[in-house]
Amino acid sequence: MVLDKISGPEDLKSASLQELQQICNALRQRIIEVVAKNEGHLGASLGVVELTVALHKVFHSPKDKIIWDVGHQAYGHKILTGRNTQFDTNRQLNGISGFPLRSESPHDAFGTGHAGTSIAAALGMALSSKLQGKTNTKFIAVIGDASIASGMAFEALNHLGTTKANVLVILNDNAIGIDPSVGALKNYFAAMKNQEAAATNVFHTLNIPYTGPIDGHNLELLLEQLHHLSQQTGPQLLHITTTKGKGFASAESDQVRFHAPGKFDPLTGKINKKPHSGRTKFQDVFGKTLTDLAAKNNKIVAITPAMVSGSGLTSFFEQFPDRSFDVGIAEQHALTMAAGMATQGSVPYCVLYSTFLQRAYDQLIHDIALQNLGVVLCVDRAGLVGHDGPTHHGIFDIAYLKTIPNLSLAAPKDEVALRNLLYTAQLGLSGPLAIRYPRGYGHLTKWEKPYEKVILGKGQVLQEGKNLMVISVGTTAHQVNEALAAFPEGSVGHADLGFIKPLDTQLLEEIFLQYKAVLTVEDGALKGGAGESIMAFAQQKNYPGKIFNLGIEDAFVPHGQLEKIHDIAGISPQRIRAQIEGMITEK
């Protein structure tokens, strides 16, 4: 196989154009075969195959630094930089990461699991290198058209244009992120493709020399332009146009689905169906519920930062286009816009992943909570997410949300509880409400039940016991239920915390009076977590019993199959059962 002869980028230096094209074909096939088997991000890496080969032909990684933004474009880069034999382990436990990882290879110049960071990182590297007298290194930021529209990317471009930093920005313009790109900048790029580049464009205005747009799949043209730009110094921008999913018909025709399609047939493109016994993804429960509520309440609006399909909002956007707002990769803007809408009587549901919400923390505090506005934060992908790993594990939201005044934080235990919270939120809130729920399938087959109003701040006892009570946070209730099946009925109690803030102190006081030991289980960081809040309250009440907390220790959790990650983190049914056994024996 052609790729077997490549141990690193230097093996490309003497290759002819024809040989490089063969490498492109082999690279594309390798990516398709492995992603079909292991799952992962397909379309983005297929779209930059020619660019990847050209970059490693012209430049000299790791001396020259290539930063991929977002990092799921980097599969071909990993294969060409000595990880072809490991690529079958991509995103698997103890295997290579699905994103660039500095500790994995010197060729991974910067970790990029979130969008919009590459230009700032490249500029920081270039300025530092210059201070140290190193001037012969090229710093290359490969950034998508959806990523470059983010505020952080524009902040970096604004700074870059005032420097002489040796940074080459490659704008990979395929008019799609996970969903189709949005916004005025997308329309501007489209106009640039359809006519000769104007003498003055937005990048020239920022004092960044511009080249393009050129065909990003024309390998010969790419090599020519990159060679020319390699001889230049100072800021440069190369605008290339590509097709996401290039070379695989199914991925080209259905770019949204084949961004990360799951397992599929590498020959036909047919996606494998997973048997889930009638269960539904939390994202689909959310989307269907919000669409149903919006049909009855015209004040409901949905806001998402470029996560329409991933968050389950496709149907909502189709049915209520005037009340649907995809703001692009702009989490800060999304939250402050939601705040503004709340001041004018709308009921904004702002839907974003836990790890993306981290990017808008100031807006959450300053613009929403400080003004006590009724914004509903739908915190998707809360808890451990599996194969995407530490850049996407939503394990910090409890800790960073529960300290904010005026904000209520709910953790529904199942799909029905999620629906009821969404229903209650649109009845009228006295302040902001955050609802955290996990990625993937729930465990109920019948969840479309009549809505019930939730009393904010109330938990519930699910099962009475004798001397030990387990308090679960959110959907860890399922793991706890599995663990408790190994014990005699009525021997161990189980309570659903329901709300992390405010705590149901009445429920906790009743538990403290009845039980000599308490075990808390949460799918978030222990430091600053729900268990810590319960321990603090127990101390205030001079609770004489023992409390033990299960959750994520003070470390980043690796990528891998979710069940295995739960076990590593100590919150699998097996680990919970072992902890309960130890506490019972200790008594």
**How many Å apart are CA 535 and CA 198, to the nearest integer?**
64
| Tens of pLDDT, residues 237-282 | 999 999 998 988 899 888 888 888 889 988 898 888 877 778 999 9
Burial category of 502 from C-beta neighbours within 10 Å (exposed 0-12, middle 13-18, buried 19 and up): middle
Q: What is the 3-state secondary structure (H, E, C) of 415-459?
A: HHHHHHHHHHHCCCCCCCEEEECCCCECCCCCCCCCCCCCCCCCC
- The reported pLDDT for the residue numbered 43 is 87
Q: Give 215-246 as a DSSP string.
A: ETT-HHHHHHHHHHHHT--S-EEEEEE--TTT
| Tens of pLDDT, residues 150-188 | 999 999 999 999 999 999 999 999 887 677 788 888 888
- The reported pLDDT for the residue numbered 587 is 57
Catalytic annotation, residues: 244, 331, 359
pLDDT at 494 over 80: yes
Domains contained in the chain, CATH given: 2-259 (3.40.50.970), 282-436 (3.40.50.970), 460-586 (3.40.50.920)
**How many Å apart are CA 26 and CA 1, to the nearest integer?**
8
Q: How confident is the model at residue 190 (pLDDT cuts 50, 70, 90)?
A: confident
**How many Å apart are CA 395 and CA 503, to the nearest integer?**
19
pLDDT at 288 over 60: yes
pLDDT at 292 over 80: yes
Taking alpha carbons only, the member of 282, 272, 322, 524 closest to residue 415 is 282
pLDDT at 197 over 70: no
| Tens of pLDDT, residues 5-62 | 999 999 999 999 999 999 999 999 999 999 999 989 898 999 999 999 999 999 999 9
**How many Å apart are CA 561 and CA 435, to the nearest integer?**
25
Asked, as a colleague might, if the bond just before 558 is cis with ω within 30 of 0, I would say no
**How many Å apart are CA 191 and CA 200, to the nearest integer?**
14
Q: Which helix or strand (DSSP H or E) is residue 492 part of?
A: strand 492-496
**How many Å apart are CA 405 and CA 551, to the nearest integer?**
24
Mean pLDDT score across all residues of the chain: 94
- The reported pLDDT for the residue numbered 200 is 61
**How many Å apart are CA 63 and CA 140, to the nearest integer?**
11
pLDDT at 231 over 90: yes
Show the tokens assigned to 270: 């047919």
- The reported pLDDT for the residue numbered 388 is 93
The whole-number average pLDDT for the span 92-111 is 95
- CA neighbours within 13 Å on the CB side: how many for 279? 13
pLDDT at 198 over 70: no
- The partner residues of 324 in beta bridges, in order of sequence, read 302
Q: Which helix or strand (DSSP H or E) is residue 23 part of?
A: helix 17-38
**How many Å apart are CA 452 and CA 458, to the nearest integer?**
14
Q: What is the pTM of this model?
A: 0.93
Q: Which residues are CB-neighbours of 522 under 8 A, at least 6 positions away?
A: 398, 472, 473, 474, 476, 529, 530, 531, 549, 550, 551, 571
The whole-number average pLDDT for the span 97-105 is 95
- The reported pLDDT for the residue numbered 195 is 65
- The reported pLDDT for the residue numbered 188 is 84
Residue 195 CB neighbour total at 10 angstroms: 7
Show the tokens assigned to 449: 């039940």
Q: Could you tell me if residue 297 is left (phi over 0), alpha (psi between -120 and 50 degrees) or otherwise beta?
A: beta
pLDDT at 199 over 70: no
